[in-house]
Structure 1
Amino acid sequence: MSLFDSYSPIPKSEIGQNSGTGLGLALVKKLVQYLQGTIEATSSQGWISFTIHLPLTASK
């Protein structure tokens, strides 16, 4: 089951051009840790992709 309907990798060429404080990724990391999930970054053919896995539990 996927939380996202679309996949949007970030091209390496755009990293640094729209530089910010990096606060967004830091907040996502803290939220994922709080929810006991994992975040993974992969690089392929000039693109960087972030994958987030969160535990899924069925409600009773």
Structure 2
Amino acid sequence: MSMLANTCPIGVTGHPALSMPTGLTDDLPVGLMLVGGQFEDATVLRVAHELASRFDWEEDEF
């Protein structure tokens, strides 16, 4: 419930969002959250796909 304050505004306004894993820092997972404009679902998915294809998150260390 403590994380609800971080995600609730996005859900209420209808903005498309996704969280993708990006690697590890000190053996802890790190993620990237992408949020787009209303009805821009395809843009968010395109950006996530592009990032995933350009970086090898399992090999990169932060």
TM-score w.r.t. length of structure 2: 0.39
In terms of fraction of residues, the more helix-rich structure is 2
Q: Give the alignment's TM-score, normalised by structure 1.
A: 0.40
